[in-house]
Structure formats: structure tokens, C-alpha cells
Structure 1
Amino acid sequence: MRSKLSRISILLIALASTIFTGCKINYGFSGASVDYNEVKTYSVDFFPNYAPLAQPTLSQEFTEALRNIFLNQTKLDLTKQDGDLQFSGKIVDYRTAPVSIQASEVAAQNRLTVTVSVVFVNTKDDTKNFEQSFSQFIDYDSQRPLSEVEGELISQVNELLVQDIFNQAVSDW
């Protein structure tokens, strides 16, 4: 009886091992859904600035932020061009405007808005390709001059923009 129970236990363990080693679960907190057997690389072209009155470093900072989100949240390798996932585009709008009017003629808050036009090509699955504009904003206290807070605001807006682009390109949420 003991021998039969022992054989059944060994058989169940062997069966479970076979099943579990044959299954692959690919989960991460980034929400990225990338088939790493197919997709190995990504490339991000420089995003030129076509928006009037934008900070001169905006193009470089945005391009680097887009490169870094994939570097930090996926196992893909960055390549200069012709990646399996390809990003190109341009910055098309950069503006600040009052958003919260108070009793006086001065706004309590201003809003910095940045809009980016993105072309995404997935060379392994063309059904995921897109050409789309992404826009994000950050509100800030109007008592602080834009020149004083602009660098910090641009970093925050870039973070929001690249997260939206990342989600659109590789997340199945």
C-alpha cells in the first residue's frame, strides 16, 4: 500500500513539474506586454521641437525620457535605428495659460501643456502600429514665474507623456 502511494506521489510530482515547466507566465508591474522571443530591440529617433516659445532643451529631454522608460521597464535593447519597435515624431505644442481665475485679474494657477505627435512602428506586429498625438499638462502657482519652475514642470510633463506612449505601444491595459 505504501509503495503504491509512493508511486502515485512521484507520478503527481512529475506531472506537475512537466506542466509548470511548460508554462511561462510573463508578468510585471509596468504593464508591458512584450513577447521577448520576437521583440528584442527598440529605437527612438530625436523628436524635434516645432512648438513656438518652447524651452530649447525640451526636445532632448523628451527624447531621453522616452528612451529611458523602455530601458527601465522592459528587457529590450536600445539601438540607434531600425529597432523592432520604432518611435519617431515631433513636439507640436508647448504653451502656458491661466486656468484658475480668482477675484483679482490674476489667475491663481497657470497650466503648462505639451503635445507630442508620435509615429510608432512594431516591425513584428503591424496591427499595433499607430500615429497619434499625446498631450499632458501640469498646473502651477501663478505667483511663481515660469522661468523658476519650468525645468521641474517639463520633467513632470515628460514623465506623463512617455508613460502614455509606453502604455499605448506595449501595454494591453
Structure 2
Amino acid sequence: MAITAETISIAAFYNDAEGGPPDMAQTFTNKLQDYYQSNTNLTLVKEDGELQIEGVVTGYRLSPIAPTAANAELLGGNTSALTRLTITVQVTYVNTEDDQFNFENRSFSFYEDFDSNQNLTAIESQLLDRIFDQIILDIFNASVANW
């Protein structure tokens, strides 16, 4: 069956994650809306689109990876050469034309590693851009790639 949807509504995501920049959820929402507008013929509407996406940023986690023994004693314990920033987004997708494609509260997650000596504040927006790009691609593939 061919999908004949012409409209999509993408509700503003909200941030339920501890940490991260205060505008993270809004930035994600804007990038998601832009991606669907650039890569489909769907018209973005404020609400009640034939396709509907909504969600929440549920995770913003920094984790040390790639442990290194160098200077561990001087620094009072474990150190790592790399830190991993992981973002998780929970998404609900509704296709009003064919509910077999719907999903509810599905988690999408991706990460970027960076040198632990770098200042996170200085590189955070670039990390978020790359992470968001992959999560958005995953959401896109899960929702409309079957067209």
C-alpha cells in the first residue's frame, strides 16, 4: 500500500535529562523538523498531521572510556583518555493512515567520544550536532523510510 500522507506534525520535544544545555530539546526539535522538511514532500503542520511525532530527551550522559594508567596516581585514581557523551531520545510516532507503522516510547540513542582533556563547553554544540544527526536519521528510517 502506498503512503499518501501529505502532512506531518512534530511536537516540541522536552528535556527530561539531567545535564546538557538548556536549549537542547528545542535544538533537537528544530533539527528534526528541518530534516523531515528537507527529505520528504510532507508539509509540516502545528498539530494533527497525518503523521505525528513527539518525544522527550531522556538521557545526557558523560562516561569515561579508554582508561589510561598515565598519571593515575598523581590525579588520585582512574583517568581516561576519552569521554563519551551519550544522548537518548524517546519517541512516539503515529501514522494515522496505517497504524502498523506506529511506535510508542521507542528509545533512540547515539554517542560521540572526545578527548578528556578538551573543555566540554567548547565542543558540546558540535558533539550534539553529530549525535542529533544520527538519532534523527534513525528516527526517520524507523518512521518513513518504508515509503
Percent identical: 38
> Where in structure 2 are the equivalents of 1:13-162 lying within 5 Å?
35=3, 38-104=4-70, 105=72, 106-131=79-104, 132-162=106-136
- Which blocks of at least 5 consecutive residues in structure 1 are unaligned? 1-33
Bigger fraction of residues in helix: 1
- TM-score normalised by L of structure 1: 0.77
Aligned residues between the structures: 138
- Please give the root-mean-square deviation of Cα atoms over the aligned residues, in Å: 1.3
Partner of 1:54, secondary structure, is: coil
Tell me, in whole angstroms, the C-alpha distance in 1 between the residues paired with 2:34 and 2:43. Answer: 11
Query: Which residue identity lines up with residue 109 of structure 1 in the other structure?
Result: L
Deviation at 1:168, TM superposition (A): 0.2
Say which one has the larger Rg: 1
Partner of 2:15, secondary structure, is: coil
Partner of 2:19, secondary structure, is: coil
- Which blocks of at least 5 consecutive residues in structure 2 are unaligned? 73-78
Bigger fraction of residues in strand: 2
Partner of 2:16, secondary structure, is: coil
Tell me, in whole angstroms, the C-alpha distance in 2 between the residues paired with 1:136 and 1:39. Answer: 29
Partner of 1:39, secondary structure, is: coil
Alignment-derived partner of residue 75 in structure 2: none
After superposition, the C-alpha distances for 1:39-78 in whole angstroms (9 at most, x for unaligned) are 0010100110000112111011100111111111101100
- TM-score normalised by L of structure 2: 0.90
Deviation at 1:89, TM superposition (A): 1.1
Tell me, in whole angstroms, the C-alpha distance in 1 between the residues paired with 2:21 and 2:66. Answer: 24
Partner of 1:75, secondary structure, is: coil
Alignment-derived partner of residue 24 in structure 1: none
Tell me, in whole angstroms, the C-alpha distance in 2 between the residues paired with 1:99 and 1:77. Answer: 42
Query: Which residue identity lines up with residue 150 of structure 1 in the other structure?
Result: E
Query: Which residue identity lines up with residue 53 of structure 1 in the other structure?
Result: G
Alignment-derived partner of residue 165 in structure 1: 139
After superposition, the C-alpha distances for 1:88-108 in whole angstroms (9 at most, x for unaligned) are 111111011111111223211
